[in-house]
Structure formats: structure tokens, C-alpha cells
């Protein structure tokens, strides 16, 4: 039996923090500029990106669209091609990676950030806010901290499992934001602590 196909009625888990299960018609959308395939489930409430690994078929060929009737805004883009098989897209390495690891909740990321930033809080930094940002290619959670008029930000990207450190003072030129002070890939809590120390953030105020 073939795997999920474009037009099947399926269930899938939304590819976002705190994503729930959705039921609808699977659409596979090839994005030629980025050379990947998006797994989208069309529901009565709208189209939802889903984790491709979570897709389960409920009914085969529920709403198959023929090539001539395909309403695809990217079909005139150079390199566009139709993709109809989820398994074939996976075998060809075309599936867009999930933005959020399966089952990850916003509370899990906040707990990770609190653990990472605990050494900063110990020396007097105050947590101002936590927030989460989702764009087409990643989900990032930010913790802004303040001490003695200095603002910093620790950002954790769950898509790439990396941490960036920022000077949170507004840039004098909004069109040229400051680059990160440091970028840590797959860091341990101890490696984050060492990065804070290297920035001088763990020095106790006199």
C-alpha cells in the first residue's frame, strides 16, 4: 500500500508550538525557490502546516485535483513541479524539516530558557519577558533580561537547537539590526554559562 498522497483525507499534528491534531485534505506543495515540499492539511478553518511524520491516512483519494484544475500560485515559477506522494518526497529529501520537534510545548521551551538563564538571574539579571516567534523556517523563543539599565536577550531556536546572545538595546539604525554577540549550536547548559561569562554577564555588581 502506498503512503499518504495529495488529496487523501488525513490527520496530522500542526507544525507549531502546542500544535494539535487536525483532520483535512493533504496537499503537497513544492516551493522551487527553496527546493522543498510543504505538507499542508486543508481544514474548514484554513490550511495548516503539519509535521510530515505525523500524517495518517483516513480515506484515500478523498479530494484529488487533476493537473488542469490545480490552483497552485507557484506553478509558473521556474523549476516548479507537482509532487503527489509524501513518501516519494521524503525519499528524494524534499520534505521541509519540522519547525518544532514532535510533542514540544511552549512550556518546555520556557523551562529550557529558565534553566539556561539561571546563572544570569543568580547575579542579578531580571527576566523582563518570554516570547515565541514563528516564521516560515524556524521557531525561536526569546528571553529578555535587564540589569542596571543594560538589556540583553537569550534566544533559543528549537528548530535548529541553537542559542544566540543579543544586545537588546535598540539599534540606532532600524534597517541594520545588530548581529548576535554569540551563536551556539546544540549547546549544553554549561556551554551557555561559559558564553555568558565570556560576555562579562556573570560579573557580580559591586
Calculate mean pLDDT across residues 119-141: 91
Residue 161 has pLDDT above 90, yes or no: yes
Q: Which residues contact 197 (CB under 8 A, 6 or more apart)?
A: none
Position of cell 511552549?
Answer: 106
Residue 120 has pLDDT above 60, yes or no: yes
> How far is C-alpha 152 from the geometric centre of its chain's CA atoms?
22
Provide the residue ranges of all domains of the chain, joining segments of one domain with +. Answer: 9-91, 106-198
Helix, coil or strand: residue 14: strand
Calculate mean pLDDT across residues 74-92: 94
What is the pLDDT, as a whole number, of residue 206? 66
What is the pLDDT, as a whole number, of residue 152? 97
What is the pLDDT, as a whole number, of residue 170? 81
Helix, coil or strand: residue 108: helix
Confidence of residue 118 (pLDDT cuts 50, 70, 90): very high
Residue 166 has pLDDT above 90, yes or no: yes
- 40 against 2, higher pLDDT: 40
Amino acid at each position: 500500500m502506498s503512503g499518504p498522497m495529495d488529496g487523501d483525507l488525513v490527520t496530522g499534528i500542526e507544525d507549531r508550538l502546542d500544535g494539535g491534531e487536525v483532520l483535512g485534505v493533504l496537499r503537497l506543495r513544492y516551493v522551487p525557490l527553496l527546493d522543498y515540499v510543504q505538507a499542508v492539511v486543508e481544514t474548514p478553518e484554513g490550511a495548516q502546516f503539519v509535521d510530515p511524520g505525523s500524517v495518517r491516512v483516513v480515506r484515500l483519494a478523498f479530494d484529488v485535483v487533476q493537473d488542469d484544475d490545480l490552483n497552485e500560485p507557484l506553478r509558473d515559477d521556474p523549476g516548479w513541479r507537482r509532487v503527489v506522494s509524501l513518501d516519494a518526497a521524503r525519499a528524494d529529501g524534499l520534505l521541509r524539516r519540522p519547525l518544532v520537534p514532535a510533542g514540544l510545548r511552549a512550556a518546555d521551551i520556557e523551562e529550557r530558557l529558565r534553566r539556561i538563564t539561571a546563572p544570569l538571574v543568580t547575579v542579578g539579571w531580571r527576566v523582563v519577558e518570554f516570547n515565541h516567534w514563528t516564521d516560515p523556517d524556524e521557531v525561536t523563543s526569546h528571553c529578555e533580561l535587564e540589569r542596571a539599565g543594560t538589556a540583553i536577550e537569550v534566544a533559543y531556536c528549537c528548530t535548529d537547537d541553537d542559542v544566540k546572545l543579543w544586545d537588546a538595546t535598540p539599534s540606532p539604525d532600524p534597517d541594520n539590526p545588530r548581529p548576535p554577540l554569540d551563536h551556539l549550536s546544540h549547546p549544553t547548559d554549561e556551554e551557555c554559562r561559559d558564553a555568558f561569562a565570556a560576555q562579562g554577564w556573570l560579573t557580580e555588581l559591586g
